Amino acid sequence: MTEPLLSDQSLILRAWREADATEIVECIDGDIEITKWLDQVPQPYTLEDARAYIGGLLGEQAFAITDAGSGGVLGSIGFGALNDGVGEIGYWIRAEARGSGVATRALVLVSRWALRRGDVARVQLRAEVGNVPSRRVAEKAGFQLEGVLRSAHWSPRLERRVDWAMYSLLPGEIA
């Protein structure tokens, strides 16, 4: 996919680069919150995992969330087209940047980009019900809670099924 550059006054969202691999490992390896809420992210997280992530997931546009001043990696946000005009967004933020509004600003940027592409009528995201910070990000970005998908996912790390809160944003709702 062609990678668009998205930015606001303090963030730049860009394609991942091979040179980012070490910084991705620093962000993710051993992070308790990422381990708890994102069970598809391997732990321990290795340089090999980071290189595979940079290589990309088929059909997903992944952006490095970077600080506009320093260029440092603050997290990641990805968009994937599902079907029938529906896209889904997922994100993670490094521990030092959490609570600063980075995730919300990045989510707004990617949501606007996705909904203005012309082929997306709905953007959605899922967060485990107990992941209150991630749910707050969705709500601050203007996403509407549609409901809870009960027992929607088996978490191998937790060794139990978990519930997901489903959020969506439609074109007329973008800020």
Q: Is 50 exceeded by the pLDDT of residue 31?
A: yes
Q: What is the pLDDT of residues 121-172, one digit of tens each?
A: 999 999 999 999 999 999 999 999 999 999 999 999 889 999 999 999 999 9
Residue 131 placed within a domain: no
Q: Is 50 exceeded by the pLDDT of residue 110?
A: yes
Total domains, the chain: 1
Q: What is the SS3 assignment for the chain?
A: CCCCCEECCCEEEEECCHHHHHHHHHHHCCCHHHHHHCCCCCCCCCHHHHHHHHHCCCCEEEEEEEECCCCCEEEEEEEEECCCCEEEEEEEECHHHCCCCHHHHHHHHHHHHHHCCCCCCEEEEEEECCCHHHHHHHHHCCCEEEEEEEEEEEECCCCEEEEEEEEEECHHHCC
Residue 133 placed within a domain: no
User: Which residues span the domain enclosing 77?
Assistant: 6-123
pLDDT band at 67 (very low <50, low <70, confident <90, very high): very high
Q: What does pTM read for this prediction?
A: 0.93
Average pLDDT over residues 99-128: 96
Residue 43 placed within a domain: yes
Residue 47 placed within a domain: yes
Residue 172 placed within a domain: no
Give dist(CA 171, CA 113) in Å, integer. 11
Residue 156 placed within a domain: no
Q: What is the pLDDT of residues 43-63, one digit of tens each?
A: 999 999 999 999 876 668 899
Residue 136: the pLDDT is 98
Backbone conformation region of residue 49, classed left if phi is above 0, alpha if psi is from -120 to 50, else beta: alpha
Residue 153 placed within a domain: no
Residue 56, domain CATH: 3.40.630.30
